[in-house]
Amino acid sequence: MSQMVRIYWRVFRLHHRKYSLRVVGWFLLAMLEIPLYILMVLRFQNLINQIDPIRNGLWVIGLAVAGYGIHLFALLNVFRDSLILPVRDLQVSLLKHFLHIPPHRYTETSSGELTNVLFSQISGGEFLEMFWVAAYNLARAAGLCYIIAQVSWVLAIVPTLPVLFLVFIPRMLSKAFVAAHARYSEANSRFESFVTDTLNGILTVKLFNAVAFHVRQIRNLARKANLRWFVTYFLEWGVNSITVGTTKLAIPLFLVLGGYLVHQGEISVAELLMLYVAVNLVNDSLMAAGFAMGYSLNYGGQLNNILRFLEHESEGEQPFPFERGRMEMERVGFAYRDGQPILQDFSLTIQPGEKVAIVGPSGMGKSTIFALLRGMQFPQRGQVRVDDTQVNQENAPSLREQIASVSQAAYMFDADLQFNLTLGRERSAAEIQNALRVVGLEEFVDGLPEGMSTRFGPSGFAISGGEKARVCLARALLMDRPVLLLDEVTANIDSIREEKILENVLHGMANKSVVVISHRLSSVRNFPRIVFLEEGKIRGEGMHRDLLAFCPRYKELFGEQVGQSARISPEGKVTT
């Protein structure tokens, strides 16, 4: 039970505290129902005793309607302030927290885990509403028992027996609920991750004729998730069943004991009928409190999953003192999780406004440099600095605000072209048109039936890879940042168009830094500085013609790419 209390207290402090005063106010309003019921029972007693029956009958009806009206109005507002608003805030916080998880940790946090917590486990946010529902119904039951005790304290004890179960059941089952929900959450995360991956990669699934395999996997994962959900449901159902059973058993016990008291002459038949109405109201309250308790135990397991998700490491919000954009990597050593070193004792300096191309064979660390310069990864040894400030997890998000970049895995959202270009930022029509001109998409957009309102589906699957890459490049240009980083952006574009696009980019960013990573050497031969990378080390740097003259491996690779029949002049020009 103490574990459940700790879970509830942590979540209350996170997202329910600011609504608590309003909820208390609505709760107190709801409690006005109890004195109305007391008056109703007294009037009902007069009605039974045939004292002014018409007037007392109207009073009973009026008090019942007023009590129910207050009950409904107050609980609807409790529902809003203890459930709707806090759960909304909790969802926003969860998504915000996921967006602030360091990028190098995304492999440890699946999209399925996020969607599972956001949409399946988020119902645990209802716990506060259930708490108030339970408290209200217990207070209501206590008030009604007080009325019964005024006539017979013996009969007042009978409907309170189920309270014993409400006290001991949470102590016995709280750990079982938390453990069951942890197992269900894990299984459901796997299921939702696989479904999400299948939907995102539907074209690949079809191309490789893997539909049958994916259907089998989804069926197996769904079966495991549903089985574990059944266990949590069974526990919740068991608590509710025990509550209903014990409250129902109180009725015959009350009638037997009440009949005995009538027989002994301690109460009248009229008083027994009056108390019977009150006992039914007590039963309804205790049953509702029991259901709320069962739901609360269930939500405790869900809330524990939410809290575990919020324990994921998060990036900081420290401002980065960006000035001119001098980037420096000093004796950097980096390896991914497999331990295989990608960069060893690597050093590189890029001056403000410099145009640099980093080239080399695949798998030699080019994209790793790209990730390190953006603060998406951090070196195990050495330092990455911008304007003499070390890039770290605390200031990396602020640094990325100063850098426009496009990676190999550039993503297009399932939204219109306008949003995919601006990501919701305000941009003038002239700025958008200029970015489209630079990447050579003016005619393409003019030919679209719906223009900037055209949608291309999830991940932009309705357009070619080259067009998608150019849309993402235009998006980066529209950010208008002092530094532009491009990682194999033009790999899906033909070489002639690629060279023209890069020429436009260099011309349009004359006073800004541009770093292009490419494996296609011919596309960057006009860059004033080319860094040739191999096996995680710089094997040569300079202009294209200098590398052809003094770096045999560069010349060899360039020859392989342009063709064996091509002849390369000392100036780097290619003829066939």
Per-residue pLDDT reduced to its tens digit, 333-385: 998 876 778 888 899 999 999 999 999 888 788 889 998 998 888 999 999 99
- Any domain includes 119: yes
CA distance 394 to 375: 10
The answer on pLDDT for 209 being more than 70 is: yes
More confident residue, 18 or 574: 18
The answer on pLDDT for 566 being more than 50 is: no
More confident residue, 29 or 242: 29
Co-location of 339 and 191 in the same domain: no
pTM of the model: 0.68
Of 246, 277, 310, the residue at which a domain comes to its end is: 310
Residue pLDDT, tens place only, 41-53: 778 777 777 788 8
Domain that includes residue 175, residue range: 2-310
The answer on pLDDT for 570 being more than 60 is: no
Longest dimension (CA), the chain: 122
Percent of the chain with pLDDT over 70: 82
Co-location of 112 and 238 in the same domain: yes
Give the pLDDT of residue 331: 92
Co-location of 347 and 265 in the same domain: no
Give the pLDDT of residue 531: 93
Co-location of 22 and 125 in the same domain: yes
Q: How confident is the model at residue 565 (pLDDT cuts 50, 70, 90)?
A: very low
CA distance 558 to 555: 5
Of 260, 290, 310, the residue at which a domain comes to its end is: 310
CA distance 381 to 330: 9
Q: Quick one: tokens of 147?
A: 């009325």
Of 310, 333, 359, the residue at which a domain comes to its end is: 310
Give the pLDDT of residue 7: 61
Q: How confident is the model at residue 146 (pLDDT cuts 50, 70, 90)?
A: confident
Percent of the chain with pLDDT over 90: 15
Co-location of 78 and 121 in the same domain: yes
Give the pLDDT of residue 326: 93
Co-location of 306 and 340 in the same domain: no
Q: How confident is the model at residue 85 (pLDDT cuts 50, 70, 90)?
A: confident
The dihedral region occupied by 339, where left means phi > 0, alpha psi between -120 and 50, and beta the remainder, is left
Q: How confident is the model at residue 188 (pLDDT cuts 50, 70, 90)?
A: confident
The listed range with the strongest mean pLDDT (46-55, 107-116, 180-189, 422-431) is: 422-431
Mean pLDDT of 426-438: 91
Kindly write down the DSSP assignment for every residue of 37-66, as one continuous string: HHHHHHHHHHHHTTSSHHHHHHHHHHHHHH
- Any domain includes 431: no
Burial 213-243 (b: 16+ CB within 10 A, else e): ebeebeeebeebbeebbebbeebbeebbebb
- Listed range (159-173, 194-208, 392-406) with the worst mean pLDDT: 159-173
